[in-house]
Structure 1
């Protein structure tokens, strides 16, 4: 299914994990070019770019520290210049530290907000300028089910992801007349190398609660993003697509 035939996409934080899954899915679904963004993981990002090329799409790696507003705007401009246009942006980059709320400093709070929310604001603003000149496009934020289901030690992360969901709705409202669709995807627990060994009790609890009986995979998130960027979602904007194997449907009482 070449849903994204001819598109040029920018995926932030695409050096590994979920970002890698998104970038590869865009290539598999027919994107003409994928810009693989990273901050420090250049070698991993280059590996993703190689795989994207093997799947038949053009690829390039661009570095930027998305905590810096100008760096966000520069990244988007360079992506559009490389591709000749920009059709899709996936705001995936972010951080997820663990810190008890009572012991959290304001600097620790701001670090998570800047990496997870301020970067989304700036990249989307920059993309709106570029995409509106080309007739529109799609922006997808990677949020989390923690936006509505907080976990101990994740107060800053949960609050940031809740803000990301609301930013998507607000951006959909204000950028819609410019031809932009803005949505968010909220993943559940996504598998990664070493996760079961690092957090066996959490994985066991998840598997016992998820109706579909498995962890998520990066490509599951990639499929959701590809759908939202495709013509199949041409009348979908301001929505949050939950990709969690049904765990959010489990009663909490």
Structure 2
């Protein structure tokens, strides 16, 4: 066995590590934060507007025996992104990884997308991960510890649907940024990967979009929507030592929908 290969029972062990999860007040982000804490990581649960949800999530993790805290930041602002990184180090003593999960997903026909909406979409979905990854890389270089970044993209980066032109474009930018960052940060020992989820369940989705849910289940070889835990487990894998020689990839987590022919 290679010297850097841990025993199988420790491959997914994140004990002693610290991770920032952005957008942790939402469904997917909360699922990721809980799973990483369950694997032993200290988790800084980032939020922008929903303080109550983030603080409740952190409290639940702590009550279950984990380590967590909530921290607000506007990730379109470099100073606040820097403060988020400093906050993780101040609270937990170190920082090993970042999960760029925070995102925005409005629906609008192309002709109704304003310049302001386009710019905000890019700022949130691509600009935030760019800033936080760059700041984390600076920290990793100074600390000499290496680390990992996981960017939450979407299968829409290559398979857009109507009404999502700006969203799909922002996620395509994020996937390409992931690969470019992996090239540059590899020498620092920092791995950068992306996960592209398909349709993930949220409360009320069946009532809000019954036709979409039915169509998805019909198209998905595995016959169901994703759950936040499905994405969370993929994040756990990419942050863990099981993925120690993996960087610059896009891992699709969509129940097989992308395997359907496009014609």
Same-fold status (TM-score > 0.5): yes
State the 1:54 CA deviation.
Answer: 2.9
User: Using the alignment, how far apart are the partners of 1:58 and 1:207 within structure 2?
Assistant: 36
Q: Does 2:209 match 1:199?
A: yes
**Aligned with 1:36 (options 14, 37, 45):** 45
User: Using the alignment, how far apart are the partners of 1:232 and 1:204 within structure 2?
Assistant: 35
**Aligned with 2:227 (options 209, 217, 228):** 217
TM-score of the superposed pair, with normalisation by structure 1: 0.97
5 Å-filtered alignment, 1:56-205, equals 56-132=65-141, 133-205=143-215
State the 1:193 CA deviation.
Answer: 0.3
SS in 2 for 1:186: strand
List per-residue Cα deviations over 1:200-235 (Å, max 9, x = no partner).
000000000100011000011100001000011000
SS in 2 for 1:52: helix
Give RMSD over aligned pairs. Answer: 1.0
State the 1:56 CA deviation.
Answer: 2.2
Aligned length: 252
User: Using the alignment, how far apart are the partners of 2:196 and 2:56 within structure 1?
Assistant: 26
User: Using the alignment, how far apart are the partners of 1:156 and 1:59 within structure 2?
Assistant: 33
Q: Does 2:14 match 1:12?
A: no
- 2:5 corresponds in structure 1 to none
**Aligned with 2:251 (options 231, 234, 241):** 241
User: Using the alignment, how far apart are the partners of 1:197 and 1:171 within structure 2?
Assistant: 39
List per-residue Cα deviations over 1:52-81 (Å, max 9, x = no partner).
113322111100111212211221121122
Structure 1: runs of 5 or more not aligned: none
User: Using the alignment, how far apart are the partners of 2:193 and 2:184 within structure 1?
Assistant: 13
- 2:13 corresponds in structure 1 to 3
User: Using the alignment, how far apart are the partners of 1:55 and 1:223 within structure 2?
Assistant: 19
List per-residue Cα deviations over 1:130-163 (Å, max 9, x = no partner).
1222420010000000000011110100000000
State the 1:51 CA deviation.
Answer: 1.9
SS in 1 for 2:61: helix
Structure 2: runs of 5 or more not aligned: 1-8
User: Using the alignment, how far apart are the partners of 2:125 and 2:85 within structure 1?
Assistant: 17
- 2:62 corresponds in structure 1 to 53
List per-residue Cα deviations over 1:19-60 (Å, max 9, x = no partner).
0000001011121x1100001101100111022113322111
SS in 2 for 1:245: coil
